[in-house]
Each structure stands twice: as C-alpha cells, then as structure tokens.
C-alpha cells in the first residue's frame, strides 16, 4: 500500500513539472451520435496558456546530467525496523521509479522553460489581445455553422441537466522549436453520461514554415503589423480544424486511401514525412489520419 501511495504522490508532484499537449486515440460511434436529439458544446480555456513552444529534440542531456543527484535526493528513506526483505525491495523499486520519473519531468521542465524564452514577447502580446475569447468565439462559430450542427442540433451553453450529451473542445496553440511553424490542435470528446465517450479525437493544423531558420527573424515575422500573420494563420487553422472535426463527428470524413502509407508533404521551404491514411490533398494542404486516427491538416502539397 505504501508503494502505491508513494507512486500516486509522485504522479501528483509531476503534474506541475512540465506541460505538453496530450493526443487522444481516435474512437467514435457515428450511429449513436446521430441518434442524439441535442448536443451541448463547451470550449475549455487554451491548454498551456496562450502559446507554448515544442521541445525538439527531447532533452536527454539534461536528464543524464542531473540523474545521480536527483535520484539520490528523491530516493526512499531506509525501511523501519521489522520490514521484511520483500517489503524493503518493493519500497526500493518505488523510490527508484519516483526518482527516475521526477528527474525526467524536471529535465523536460527545464527544456520547456528554455524553449519558451525566445517566444516570450509574442506570448505577452497575445495575453494583451484576449486570445482566449478570440479562439473560443471562432470555434463556436465554426461548429454551430457546420453541416453536422444543422443535422444534430448543436447548442452552445451550459448543460441543462447532468448527463446530457456534451461535446467538449480543448484547444491549444503551439510553435515548433524554431518558432517557424504554427500548430493549432483541438482535443475533442463527446459524452452522453456513460463511462466511455461516444467520440474522441485530436484534430491538428500545421502552417507552412516561415522560410527562416533564425528564431529572432521568425519572432519578428509573427509579431509584425500587430500580429497580422499570426492571426491570419490562426484563423485558417480554426476554420480547417472545426470543419474536419464536424465531418469526423458526422461520419462524413472522406478517405482516399484505406491503406496506411508514408507520405511526404512539401510546404514553404521544407517538408515533413508522416505515416497514415490519406484523406484529402490539394496544392495548398494535405489531410491525413495518423496512426492514432488523429486528423492532421498540413499546409503543403503531397509529394509522395
């Protein structure tokens, strides 16, 4: 019991060490969704604040440098008299796990802070622009004007009663580590009072690259003309993600290729390789379902 309690406590402590977006494994029951008389829409505050910066690559060098000190600092104390060998061994394993987990999350926390620092002027500018309100209003408008809403009576507002069908959207805005690509993600979950959701998925949009490898140049690009480029890209992102979310909920998402393949997508001055099922492709953007079933909308044309 002490081992379980210790691990549970470690998880609580680690929750505040670092932050990153979580992606759902896609699941959905179209037949049950279509049978609902009304769905209530809720948009939660932006995950991780107005903007977060991705960590690439993972900061293993920080973990290696701090592992011995941190593991010793957070290791379990000696067992009390009368503790059996098995109990002591279990406690030692728990202490080692806690130390490893905390070291890993501390390293990620340090790297996250370092990644965020160059983007701080942009983050502060967004905080002064009511970004939460802008994203919420755009998402609500996108969902309420969709074909899915027309056929399923989607309504924005509080639940009239406990257990009523509710579609919860958790949005997040990110920049890649070089500050050159904007990513907008929606984690969506539709519940109808049961233990398992009727629908769960993550829909993400990637902008084309800015064309520069310099972080300061990219920061200037996003901040120029009162954040004009940033908001223009964000507007596109919300329009695309809400549209494909609506198609996915309604079971009307097209799928060009039912077989998974590795696709190369070129956009701006770079390209990305991603494995999944091709959904849609134009000269401007490519839509895939990745190996989780998540929908990826990537600015760029399909090369192969």
pLDDT of 131-149, one tens digit each?
A: 999 999 999 999 999 999 9
Across the range 118-123, mean pLDDT stands at 95
pTM of the model: 0.79
Structure confidence at residue 125 (pLDDT): 93
Domain for residue 50, yes or no? yes
- Give me the number of domains the chain comprises: 1
Domain for residue 68, yes or no? no
Across the range 10-39, mean pLDDT stands at 73
User: Is residue 57 predicted with pLDDT exceeding 70?
Assistant: no
Are the beta carbons of 98 and 76 closer than 8 angstroms? yes
Q: Give the CATH number for residue 141.
A: 3.30.160
**Average per-residue pLDDT in the chain?**
82
Between 194 and 186, whose confidence is greater? 186
Domain for residue 3, yes or no? no
Structure confidence at residue 10 (pLDDT): 43
Structure confidence at residue 93 (pLDDT): 53
Are the beta carbons of 248 and 186 closer than 8 angstroms? no
Number of alpha carbons in the 13 Å side-chain half-sphere of residue 241: 31
User: Is residue 100 predicted with pLDDT exceeding 80?
Assistant: no
Domain for residue 185, yes or no? yes
Q: Does the bond joining 248 to the residue before it have cis omega, within 30 degrees of 0?
A: no
**Model confidence pLDDT, tens digit, residues 229-287:** 999 999 999 999 999 999 999 999 987 778 899 999 987 667 888 999 999 999 999 99
Tokens coding 84: 């059996």
Domain for residue 136, yes or no? yes
User: Is residue 201 predicted with pLDDT exceeding 90?
Assistant: yes
Which domain, by its residues, includes 137?
25-54+117-253
Structure confidence at residue 270 (pLDDT): 77
Span of 69-83, 167-181, 209-223 with lowest mean pLDDT? 69-83
DSSP strand E in 46-195: where? 52-53, 154-156, 166-175, 182-191
Q: What confidence tier does 21 reach under pLDDT thresholds 50, 70, 90?
A: low
Structure confidence at residue 230 (pLDDT): 97
Are the beta carbons of 182 and 131 closer than 8 angstroms? no
Span of 77-81, 127-131, 209-213 with lowest mean pLDDT? 77-81
Domain for residue 84, yes or no? no
User: Is residue 89 predicted with pLDDT exceeding 80?
Assistant: no
Domain for residue 201, yes or no? yes
Domain for residue 247, yes or no? yes
């Amino acid at each position: 019991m002490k081992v379980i309690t210790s691990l549970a406590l470690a998880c609580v402590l680690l929750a505040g060490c670092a932050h990153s977006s979580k992606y759902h494994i896609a699941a959905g029951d179209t037949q049950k969704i279509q049978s609902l008389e009304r769905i209530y829409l809720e948009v939660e505050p932006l995950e991780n604040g107005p903007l977060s910066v991705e960590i690439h690559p993972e900061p293993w060098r920080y973990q290696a440098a701090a592992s011995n000190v941190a593991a010793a600092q957070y290791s379990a104390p000696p067992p009390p008299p009368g503790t059996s060998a098995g109990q002591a061994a279990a406690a030692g394993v728990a202490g080692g796990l806690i130390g490893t987990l905390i070291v890993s999350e501390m390293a990620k926390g340090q790297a996250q802070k370092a990644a965020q620092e160059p983007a701080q002027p942009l983050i502060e500018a967004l905080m002064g622009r009511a970004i939460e309100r802008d994203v919420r209003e755009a998402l609500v408008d996108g969902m309420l004007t969709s074909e899915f809403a027309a056929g399923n009576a989607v309504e924005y507002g509080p639940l009239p009663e406990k257990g009523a069908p509710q579609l919860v959207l958790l949005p997040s805005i990110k920049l890649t580590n070089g500050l050159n690509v904007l990513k907008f993600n929606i984690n969506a979950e539709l519940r109808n009072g049961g233990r398992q959701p009727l629908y769960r998925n993550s829909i993400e949009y990637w902008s084309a690259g800015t064309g520069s490898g310099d972080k300061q140049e990219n920061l200037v690009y996003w901040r120029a003309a009162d954040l004009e480029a940033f908001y223009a890209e964000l507007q596109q992102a919300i329009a695309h993600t809400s549209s494909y979310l609506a198609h996915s909920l309604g079971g009307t998402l097209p799928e060009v290729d039912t077989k998974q393949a590795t696709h190369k997508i070129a956009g701006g001055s770079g390209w990305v390789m991603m494995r999944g099922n091709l959904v849609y492709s134009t000269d401007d953007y490519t839509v895939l379902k990745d190996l989780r079933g998540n929908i990826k909308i990537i600015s760029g044309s399909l090369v192969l």
